[in-house]
Amino acid sequence: MVKSINLKEYLCAKNCLKIICGANNENFVEIEKLVALYSMAGCRFFDINASIEALNAAIRGLKYSNCFDDEHFICLSIGVDYDIHFKKCKINNEICTKCEICKNSCPQNAINNFEIDEKKCIGCSICIEKCHCGAIESYQVKKNITQLKDLFSLVDCVELHISTDDINEIKLKWSELISNYDGLISICMNRAIFSEDFTIKLFNELIQSYSNIMIQADGKPMSGINNDYNTTLQAVAFADILRKSNITCPIFVSGGTNSKTKELLKLCSVDVNGISFGSCARKIVKKYIDREDFFENKQMFNEAYIVAKDFVDMCK
């Protein structure tokens, strides 16, 4: 299944678009629907949770849209300990006042009867921000990189999220990854973690130790649900910093990316290879994805396809 040569050619085209189904998203029905819809709409690159269930869901989606071929690519997301992308939330019902503000604000519809569905939760922490009584807290989800080796052999790319200030943890996970995987590695970092100089130094060190790399410049993680210029500004600025540092590997922007990202990149003359869309891409098709008759109701699916196709065409 691995198609690394074709993926490298795709990255060099510099009009790439990656749909992030959620690094911590274990709602496998949703993943299948997102991949089916967006691949049919013209997207060729998908980022999923590092599990065989998520991979199988993505493959089913590609097969549904007749896109399970050498021109469509799947990336698995893994992370260092305490990276924001690998947290989930839970409610302390001894404190909860049963106001349901969290339920109404959850973009994943993961909260019901004052409980959070672990499979649907992606750890965005919107519920924590909205809770007025401090009844919700987050906890870390950890995976063993060595145990994922067989899964790595089935995909085109592995993304390592390194948004932590623990340098030893970053180097440990990096060493484990390059010891167990020899394909394209995407390094994703939130620009708020380190200073600009230290970030550039760290990226250069990683690039020197392993050449087959792309970088995902993460602005403000999981904030793309807000569709404005300010939300996407940090991602664009981070990519600009990396390009001006003469880092030559492919660069994607993520974290707050939305329908304004491409325009802002152009206005600021920031050269990137592609844009990764998560919250924004999921939000605009959510009312369709949530339907149980998503695949059976052809009229409704076509409406969803038009929304997704317009978005993909605008963002390429």
The pLDDT, as a whole number, for residue 316 is: 86
The pLDDT, as a whole number, for residue 3 is: 58
User: Are the C-beta atoms of 215 and 249 separated by less than 8 Å?
Assistant: yes
Average pLDDT on 287-294 reads: 96
In this model, does residue 156 exceed pLDDT 70?
yes
Domains of the chain, CATH where assigned: 4-79+144-315 (3.20.20.390), 86-140 (3.30.70.20)
The pLDDT, as a whole number, for residue 60 is: 98
Average pLDDT on 43-50 reads: 97
Query: Model confidence at 13, in pLDDT bands (50, 70, 90)?
Result: confident
Which residue from 308, 316, 286 is spatially nearest to 39, judged by alpha carbons? 308
DSSP secondary-structure letter at 147?
G
User: Are the C-beta atoms of 54 and 29 separated by less than 8 Å?
Assistant: no
In this model, does residue 4 exceed pLDDT 60?
no
The pLDDT, as a whole number, for residue 224 is: 87
Angstrom distance (rounded) from CA 4 to CA 316: 21
In this model, does residue 5 exceed pLDDT 70?
no
In this model, does residue 179 exceed pLDDT 70?
yes
Average pLDDT on 260-289 reads: 97
pTM of full prediction above 0.85: yes
Q: Quickly count helices (H) and strands (E) in the chain.
A: 13, 12
The pLDDT, as a whole number, for residue 130 is: 94
**Strand segments (E) across the chain:** 16-20, 45-49, 73-79, 87-91, 111-112, 115-116, 136-140, 157-161, 184-190, 213-218, 251-254, 274-277
